Amino acid sequence: MAWPPPSACPPRPSASTGRGRPSWGGWYAPRRIRCRAPSAGRARPPSKANGGNHVSDFRAGPADRRDFTVRCAECRAAASLPAYRCDACAGPLVLDLAEPSGTTWPDGRGIWRRGPLLPRGRATVTLGEGDTPLLPLSPSGLPTGVEVYAKIEGQSPTLSFKDRGMALTASLAVDLGVDGLALASSGNAAVSAAAYAAAAGLRCAVFCGTGSRADAKLAAARAYGAQVHVVDGDYSAAYARATQAEADGVINVTTTYRNPVPAEAYRTIAVEIHEQLSRVPDVVVVPVGAGPLLYGVHAGFVDLVRLGLTDGVPRMVGVQAAACAPLARAWSSTDWRAALAEPSPPGATAATAIADPLRGYEREGLLTLEAVRASGGRVVAVTERAIGEAVRNLARDGLLAESAAAAAVAALSGASLGDVLRPGTTVVALLTGHGVKEPATLEGIAPRHGVAQREGG
């Protein structure tokens, strides 16, 4: 399949006929989308006319992004976007990108400055995602000489790492000419998809399980214009419902591996860490549900090796809440596939953003486990108590992290990484989402060091 397709840019609406107007009455939003002709080699600079600060200063043209094919991760059969499963074996699909080239990045900021690592496309939908801070941490209980840094993805436009993947996926949706996005979400992806759909003039339908504890996040998604459907059950139940929404004109952007595109945007996290540290860390700790974030970050470090910018990749450590830890359970078994297929009802956890039982799509977890193994890493589980302590300790250091994000820091204090965290080790923990999205968690920690009672007067 030639990529991008010929009809990559959305039609401009006609004042007289309304031609180009999506069927639900909204308009495409050219202020936040830039479409380029096939021969374009550079992007227009931002201006008030095309979005100003809402359009990243992306100076690499489409020719500088990577060609790709779509293939099955298991049998390697070819596929074409939009597609969600292999027609031959029902395995998950991945993008097979051309080798990266060039060792310098264009001027500007955000994920689009790393365009040479991203899949080729014409449209660029952006809200300023990427280039999040990397800050030093001093968790207690670590051996002397261990350096720890936190990558603060909670400073993304909608306060989570999901924005990187949704920016790329919304851009793909514009390229494909679809008019809507659908997804299952425990909250963060719902907010992100709704925001980027609004920026691109697309509809958005969100399916969320009743156990998600995501009222604040879903309210934000509705504010962006998304239709929110609450599904009885857990995340896997919402996942099944989202697959039923796949149809002409709508693409499923569920951020497991259902759609192979979002994970590719997480390569940019690896590049940013390398730039910010001026080296590659020894260990990267990532909260995981199905694990496409870990998969994408690992792929980014592999790109750096292929570009000759570093000699090796860090150990990738996936972290799950003990109450719902299918990947951690499989990692400790001798048969990953059998362990993932074994029913294991999830328990209650504050870290709902990573509470994914993988029921019905267990094979997706193999992609994450393979990336962990290739890096020499591991997958661990942390207790609710450890997660809560990490949330409180981060807040005392000025960082509000949601429970799933804090799980990455919680893992550093456990015995499961004791043999990895030696003097001289550099660790980066991904703080994937902002704590302001979890009001109940904040209420739980505030009385410990905040105002306990209202004063009269």
In sequence order, what DSSP letters do the residues of 396-419 get, joined into one string?
Answer: HTT--B-HHHHHHHHGGGSGGGTT
pLDDT for position 47? 32
Q: Are 195 and 206 in contact (CB under 8 A)?
A: no
Q: What band does 447 get if pLDDT is binned at 50, 70 and 90? A: low
Question: Residue 14 above 80 pLDDT?
Answer: no
What angle do the packed helices 439-449 and 384-396 form, to 10 degrees?
Answer: 60
Q: Where are the domains of the chain?
A: 134-159+262-444, 162-252
The stretch 137-151 carries a mean pLDDT of 92
448 falls in which pLDDT band (50, 70, 90)?
low
Model confidence at 98, in pLDDT bands (50, 70, 90)?
very high
- The confidence score (pLDDT) of residue 322 equals 98
Q: What is d(CA 323, CA 234) in angstroms, rounded to the nearest whole number?
A: 13
Domain 162-252 has CATH 3.40.50.300: no
Report domain 134-159+262-444's class.
alpha beta
The pLDDT confidence band at residue 141, using thresholds 50, 70 and 90, is confident
Q: Are 358 and 336 in contact (CB under 8 A)?
A: no
Place 343 in a pLDDT band, splitting at 50, 70 and 90: confident
Is residue 11's pLDDT more than 60?
Answer: no
Give, for 365, the enclosing helix (H) or strand (E): helix 364-375
DSSP reduced 3-state for 80? coil
Helix (H, G, I), strand (E, B) or coil at 430: strand
Task: Return the DSSP state at 11.
Answer: P
> If you average pLDDT over every residue of the chain, what do you get?
85
Which pLDDT belongs to residue 456?
A: 61
With cut-offs at 50, 70 and 90, classify the pLDDT of residue 232.
Answer: very high
Under a CB-based contact definition with an 8 Å cutoff, are residues 61 and 41 in contact? Answer: yes
pLDDT over threshold 70, residue 176: yes
Of residues 324 and 345, which shows the higher confidence score?
A: 324
- Report the pLDDT value the prediction gives residue 140, as an integer from 0 to 100: 83
| DSSP track, 276-323 | HHTS--SEEEEE-SS-HHHHHHHHHHHHHHHTTS-S--PEEEEEEETT
Q: What is the pLDDT of residue 110?
A: 93
Assess whether the region 134-159+262-444 and the region 162-252 belong to the same CATH fold: yes
CB distance 13 to 28 below 8 Å: yes
- Element spanning 230, H or E: strand 227-231
Residue 13's alpha-carbon distances to 16, 35, 221, in angstroms, are: 9, 15, 26
- In angstroms, the CA 439 to CA 65 distance is 40
Residue 251 has pLDDT above 50, yes or no: yes
**What span, in angstroms and rounded, lies between the C-alpha atoms of 32 and 196?**
9
Mean pLDDT (whole number) for 21-39: 34
- pLDDT attached to residue 455: 62
pLDDT tops 80 at residue 375: yes
Q: Which residues, listed in sequence order, are joined to residue 227 by a DSSP beta bridge?
A: 205
Q: Give yes or no for residue 36 having a pLDDT over 60.
A: no
For residues 192-214, average pLDDT: 92
Residue 46 has pLDDT above 60, yes or no: no
Please tell me the predicted confidence (pLDDT) of residue 457: 53
Tell me which long-range contacts 392-399 makes (C-beta under 8 A, separation of at least 24).
Answer: 392/445, 392/448, 393/139, 393/140, 394/150, 394/431, 394/435, 395/435, 395/445, 396/449, 397/137, 397/138, 399/135, 399/150, 399/152, 399/154, 399/431
pLDDT value of position 48:
32
| Res 15 pLDDT > 50 | no
Q: How many helices (H) and strands (E) does the chain have?
A: 13, 15
Does residue 26 carry a pLDDT above 60?
no
Chain CA centroid to CA 47, Å: 28
Report pLDDT for 451: 57
Residue 108 is predicted with a pLDDT of 80
Phi, psi of 369 (to 5 degrees): -65, -35
Integer CA distances (angstroms), 400 to 20, 137, 173, 407, 434, in order: 43, 13, 33, 13, 6
Q: Is pLDDT above 70 for 54? A: no
Read off the pLDDT of each residue in 139-147 and give the average, rounded to a whole number. Answer: 89
Lowest-confidence pick of 11-20, 178-187, 189-198, 338-347: 11-20
**Mean pLDDT lowest among 153-162, 230-239, 400-409:** 230-239
What's the CA gap between 115 and 218, in Å, rounded? 31
Task: Report the percent of the chain where pLDDT is more than 90.
Answer: 70
